[in-house]
Amino acid sequence: MRAEPGRWMLAAYALPALPLAMLTLPFYVVVPAFYARTLGLPIAAVGGALLIVRLVDAVSDPLVGYLADRWRPAFGRRRLWTLAASFPTAFAAYQIFAPPNDATLQHLTFWGILLSVFWTSVLVPYTAWGAELSTSYAGRTRIAAWREMFAVVGTLVALVVQAAALWAGQSERFALLTTGLLIGFGLPIAALMTVSATPEPFDATQKRLPVRDGFALMASNAPFVRLLFAFFLNGCANGFPATLFLFFVSEKLQAETWAGPLLVIYFLCGVLGVPLWLKMAQQTSKHRAWCVAMIGACAFFAIAPFLQAGDAHWFALVCIGTGLALGADVMLPPAIQADVIDVDTAASGEQRAGLYFAMWSLTTKLALALAVGVAFPVLALWGFDPAANLRTNSGLAMLGFLYAGAPVLLKLASIALMWNFPLDAAAQAQLRATIDARQKS
């Protein structure tokens, strides 16, 4: 077994997760509301544009994953992609966060597509890199924990930047512009620092599979398929509240000034929850710890649909409970995914972490896109559309259900899939023994 990365290497590897996370929250939470409320674009049309972005992006994910596995430049198949794609990703993010005053749906769609494609070109090789830095069950959990802790800190930074700008009397547009500038400079710098301090991982590939055979083997990887379905359901469950958070706080609770502090509470609890779930995963298993976290999230989400105007203090409790569960949601599934890849490597003789994480990335994006594509048109149908100054009682009730009721149902289905997941520490160790024995033969 190869040596595990130390703390300095883990910190160096995790660094790009911070600016990437600064991009994630504004793009999925702030940008839809900004384009609908501030720029005055119809809410259903904004949802449709973002759905188109994700559908186009569906082609790029497996393509990037395939190329990132097969292309072996001297600089490193993981390191080169992460560094080179960081520059156009940063530029496209700036275009989305700093639109002209007369920005149209075409602007959102065009730059959204470019952002997603380049974002994938960074994220897929970067996460595959992390999966390959360690071959142990516990080591992969530590790597995911460091990366996702940096990611949650990056989210907090984005929140603080926007809250500080608004507190200083600046507009939401100025807050997004500031975030775009920080990402524009921060992501390429972080990528440069990472590739200078983190080695290219070992490639255990011994033979190459034809494309059709490779996808057929992936489809027969039962733990992967099971995990992918569970992750998709949980991704949809998280996508609804992420998309609707600002609307829920400002329209349902009538507490718009609470939005920033509540998001800070939520993500701060996410950071605090990481050590808790890391310890539970070590004592039990990754999948059981994740299930416990989802059960806890369901208990707190169940409160939210019953809240009314003036109940922001009760909603803070919901943010604390679901925030603690966030630490497990962002850390444990990628660590399980790294183990699932071993099933494929042992069976095929080819290490295809890039392709597997591409499918993982695609699933994440499709889940979030589905949440946006479903939530906004359904809300408009039930009588809720701020751009049209439409806020009926039925529309507000549907807002409460989509924000918290639907996520509970989806998370329960995910728990049912993962509770008795077959891949634990002992099974993963056997897989690695098979892979390592093949390397020695």
Residues present in the chain in total = 441
2 found inside a domain? no
Backbone angles phi, psi at 390, to 5 degrees: -115, 115
Q: How far is CA 205 from CA 242, 346, 352, in A?
A: 38, 10, 8
- What pLDDT shows up at residue 440? 65
| Number of compact structural domains in the chain | 1
Residue 212 lies in a domain: no
Tokens of 42: 């119809």
390: helix, strand or coil: strand
Residue that the structure tokens 């699933």 belong to: 363
CA neighbor of 18 nearest in space, from 189, 174, 167: 189
In contact, 415 and 294? CB cutoff 8 Å: yes
Domain-located, residue 322: yes
Strand-pair category, 390-391 with 384-385: antiparallel
Is 72 within the bounds of a domain? Answer: yes
CA distances from 389 to 30, 52, 377, 385 (A): 19, 25, 15, 6
- Of 115, 107, 113, the C-alpha closest to 39 is 107
Between CA 432 and CA 440, with CA 438 as vertex, the angle to 5 degrees is 105
Q: Which pLDDT tens digits describe the chain residue by residue (441 residues)? A: 566 778 889 999 999 999 998 987 788 777 887 888 788 888 788 878 887 887 777 778 888 888 888 877 778 888 999 999 999 999 999 999 989 888 888 899 999 999 989 998 999 999 989 888 888 888 888 999 999 889 989 988 888 887 787 777 677 788 888 888 999 999 999 999 999 988 887 776 667 777 788 888 888 999 999 999 999 999 999 988 988 888 888 888 888 778 878 888 898 898 899 899 999 998 999 999 999 999 999 999 999 888 888 888 899 999 999 999 999 998 999 999 989 998 988 888 888 888 888 888 888 878 877 887 888 888 888 888 776 676 777 888 888 889 888 999 999 999 999 999 999 888 888 888 888 777 665
380-388 contacts: CB < 8 A, separation 24 or more? Answer: 380/43, 380/44, 384/247, 384/251, 385/42, 385/43, 385/44, 386/36, 386/37, 386/43, 386/247, 386/251, 387/36, 387/37, 387/40, 387/41, 387/42, 387/43, 388/42, 388/43
C-alpha–C-alpha distance, residues 355 and 360, integer Å: 9
CA distance 39 to 329: 33
SS3 435: helix
pLDDT of residue 346: 86
CATH value at residue 105: 1.20.1250.20
Look up the domain containing 181 and give its range: 8-202+220-440
Residue 267 in domain:
yes
Residue 232: predicted pLDDT: 94
Q: CA–CA separation, 124 vs 62, rounded Å?
A: 9
User: Does the predicted model carry a pTM greater than 0.85?
Assistant: no
d(CA 311, CA 253): 6
DSSP per residue, 100-122: -TT--HHHHHHHHHHHHHHHHHH
**Which candidate, 46, 62, 52, 125, places its Cα nearest to that of 89?**
125
- Residue 214 belongs to a domain: no
- How many helices, marked H, and strands, marked E, lie in the chain? 17, 2
DSSP 385: E
User: Which pLDDT score is estimated for 439?
Assistant: 66
CB atoms within 10 A of CB 3: 7
In a domain? residue 3: no
Return the CA Rg of the chain.
21
Distance CA 244, CA 246 (A): 6
Distances (CA, A) of 287 to 74, 152, 229, 344, 382: 37, 21, 14, 19, 37
The shares of helix, strand and coil residues in the chain, as percent rounded to the nearest 5, are 80, 0, 15
Question: Which residues partner with 391 through β-bridges?
Answer: 384
| Beta-carbon contacts of residue 265 (< 8 Å; ≥ 6 apart) | 316, 319, 320, 323
